[in-house]
Structure 1
Amino acid sequence: MPTLKIHPGFGVLAARFDGDLRDRLRAAVINPQLLLAAKAALAAALAWTIALAIPGTPSEYPYYAPLGALLAIYPTVAGTIKLGLQTVVGLTIGILLAYIAVWAGDPDWVTIAFVVGVGVLLGGVLKRTAGGGSGIASAGLFVLVIGNENLGYSLGYLVQTVVGVGVGLAVSALILPPLHLNDAVGRMSGLRRTAARQLQEMGEALEEDWAEDDPRWTERRDALTASVRNARSALQYAAESRKGNVRRRFHPRDIRRDYRHVEVLEIVASHTLNITNMLQDGLHGTATEHPLPEAVRPPLQEAFTAVGNVLDLWTVEEDSTEMVRDAERALKVLETAAYESTSVTVPFGSAAAIGMNLHRIVQAVKPELDVEEES
């Protein structure tokens, strides 16, 4: 009985559909903003409860505890630690500024201007340690205007803020600390699919003979550039989310390998952008560029499709040898056609340059694929 041979592209489409469906379901169940809001609410409530139980003068200022928790809470554990420390350092500096101003007399326009001006200046200088912005100035202004010479107010403000920051850190670190790995993987897959789709659409541009001023050229470039930026940012955010996160032990991942993956994708995107620019100029020709000869257009279209299929296959658990070989054969045909189309007046045509970029895309991706070497 004859066996039915399924083209690798069907596996690519099935894997892409399954991956997209899983990502959408996961995003619907665990919304990062909802999780952050719930954790912030819990941290504020716990901080308020603890603040009321603190003995002495600080118990008179319990409202600063939930404020400290709110200022410290952040989607990642590392971010919460950083914000918490910056909040405490900024508050301490602000209190010191206020007491320097108090020595000069009661609050007036001079002392207020001093605290705010110096506070904003220090916020700009001490961005890493005090968080920058107006945190120092705000703390100093509160102490100067509300507390003035009341040491109990300053002590309560500081103690309750520290309590709130501590509660915020505990909630952030212990209650479902997100890893954000799925978003990074999704962004990387999105970049790969965008590059693959753009290469395949370059074949459509050849077939449909896009005009030089067709808005689709710019749209494709902008989409690919944005996808590159989003993939890099998402991976950096995922790497940050692992710092200090207890869940990383249960979800091991080689981040360095992911960074190499993104670097390869950035190489692919760079060559794809070059191809887009060269095809836009070479399709009809410019004042300095001859149009693509008719003889190279069919093999060029085949090469676009073949290399796009290789990118589509990337990360899919399927034998990729056949598809890579198809791409290499298509590039050989294109190389021959580009060479035969050269002349004394046109020694370097855009087809050859595009072919070289396609070749480099395959060479960049090939080590990432399970490709059997030819014997």
Structure 2
Amino acid sequence: MLFRVAQASRAALAAMAAWAVGNLLPGEMAQYAYAAALGAFVATGTTLVTIARAATQRAAGLVIGAAMGLLLLPLDVYGLLKIGVIAAVGVLVEGVRALGDGASMVPVAAVLVILFGGVDADGYAIGYVGQFSLGMLVGITINAVVMPPLHVDEARGRKNRAIGELADRLDELAAMLRGVWPPDREDWANWAPELEAWVVDVEDELGEARESRRFNIRTLWRRDRIADDEADGAALRSVVNRAINVIDALSGAAWETPVAVHVDGTDRDAVADAVAAAAAHLRAWAGREDVREVSDASLEAIDRLYARAVEHGEPESGVLAVVFSLRALRARVDRVAQRRA
């Protein structure tokens, strides 16, 4: 909410500043100051780089659209046909990746020139496009100097929440293992897509955080180690994959899907202990705590589980799949935690 309020405040300030500057321009240009305010308004975004990129693309789209309008205006054809040509070109330019957001400005500028250009179409096109571009420049400047958005804290918070939520899911698994087997609820066997979506969200947030630091004056006094958070994000993807392996193994033991495996009833408490220990390990990592103690506890729980699996000597044992996945999960968390330390 605070971010949205800050963004709205910058947009308001930019629009007012652009309007004021636009009215100072000489001659007939001043009468198009409203376009400067509109340009400043659209020059908003999540990061300074995305704002500047989108503004450049929109300026290019305006120029192309105005030029098309000027070319179509003197043609002695029905206005309906001109609108059709503009619509067709508007759809075609959407396929030009370099234009990006600017593609939507092409038909808008063309239609405005045809509808409102009148006898001074050249003056209208120059005035509108010039003022709109001026407004976007003012918007970029305001966003660059007035507390420009920096998304590191938001990305870090999303990453830590995802790790904590994964720990909660592992605790749920541990509780089910200690209860009636097979468990009454089956939803946990289909958690994989949701967990993978968390990873994508975290990676998107971290990418935006890195972008928000580029050319951002706030980085002069904020030395965020975004590289550490990105390393955590990469580790989270690996950890989630291992957690999904555990889920699949337990689902196979409960309902023989995706692959039928066996988990001896006497081993379920040991599996639950190992899974719960992994959850505690994840929470320590998310809380940026010293993970050595919980890592040792996780190792002990996994070793106890492995000893039971070896004692049974079952080649199709789901316990061995759980052991491998939890060992890999533990090792990945330890590596990234040690790097941060």
Normalised to the residue count of structure 1, the TM-score between the two structures is 0.84
Distance 1:364 1:247 in 2: 33
Query: Is 1:135 the equivalent of 2:97?
Result: no
Q: 1:222-281: per-residue Cα shift (whole Å, max 9, x none)?
A: 553332222111111111111221111211233333222111111001111121122122
1:155 matched to 2:126: yes
* Residue among 177, 187, 199 paired with 2:148: 177
1:112 aligns to 2:83 (yes or no): yes
Sort the Cα spacing of 1:210 and 1:86 in 2 relative to 1 into closer, same or farther, 3 A.
Answer: farther
In the other structure, the counterpart of 2:174 is 203
What CA distance in whole angstroms lies between the structure 2 residues aligned with 1:287 and 1:75?
Answer: 41
Deviation at 1:369, TM superposition (A): 2.9
Consecutive unaligned residues in structure 1, runs of 5 or more: 1-26
Amino acid at match of 2:319: A
Matched to 1:41, the amino acid is: A
Q: Is the 8 A contact 1:331 1:359 kept in 2?
A: yes
User: What amino acid is the match of 1:320?
Assistant: V
Query: What secondary structure does 1:62 align onto?
Result: helix
Q: Distance in 2 between matches of 1:83 and 1:317?
A: 37
Query: 1:317, 1:159 → 2: CA distance?
Result: 51
Once the 2 structures are TM-superposed, how far is the Cα of residue 136 of structure 1 from its aligned partner? 0.4
For residues 163-206 of structure 1, what are the alpha-carbon distances to aligned partners after superposition, in whole Å with 9 as ceiling and x for unaligned?
11111111111111121111111111112112222222211110
Is residue 2:212 matched to residue 1:241?
A: yes
Aligned to 1:356: 324
Return the offset for 1:221. 4.0
Cα distance between partner residues in 2 of 1:300 and 1:243: 46
Aligned position for 1:7: none
* 1:186 is the counterpart of 2:154: no
Matches of 1:288 and 1:51 in 2, distance apart? 68
- Give me the whole-angstrom Cα distance separating, in 2, the residues matched to 1:227 and 1:65: 40
Paired residues of 1:48 and 1:63 also in contact (CA < 8 A): yes
Closer, same or farther: CA 320–341 of 1 in aligned 2, 3 Å = same
Shift of 1:320: 2.8
CA distance in 1, matches of 2:275, 2:306: 13
How many residue pairs get aligned? The number is: 338
- Shift, 1:215, TM fit: 4.5
Distance in 2, matches of 1:129 and 1:139, equals 14
Q: CA deviation at 1:316?
A: 4.0
Residues 1:45 and 2:16 aligned together:
yes
CA–CA distance in 1 between the matches of 2:258 and 2:72?
A: 70
Give the Å deviation of 1:300.
Answer: 1.0
1:365 to 316, 333, 337: 333
8 Å Cα contact 1:72-1:87 kept in structure 2: no
Report the RMSD for the aligned CA atoms in angstroms.
Answer: 2.2
Q: What is the identity, as a one-letter code, of the residue corresponding to 2:96? A: L
CA shift, 1:127, in A, is 3.2
Q: Which residue of 2 aligns with 1:5?
A: none
1:197-221 deviation line (CA, Å, top 9, x unaligned): 2222211110123646724415744
Cα gap change, 1:97 to 1:218, in 2 (>3 Å): farther
Given the alignment of the two structures, is residue 299 of structure 1 paired with residue 264 of structure 2, yes or no? no
Unmatched 5+ stretches in structure 2: none
Asked if structure 2 preserves the Cα contact closer than 8 Å seen for 1:194 and 1:224, the reply is: no
Which 10-residue stretch deviates more, 100-109 or 285-294?
285-294
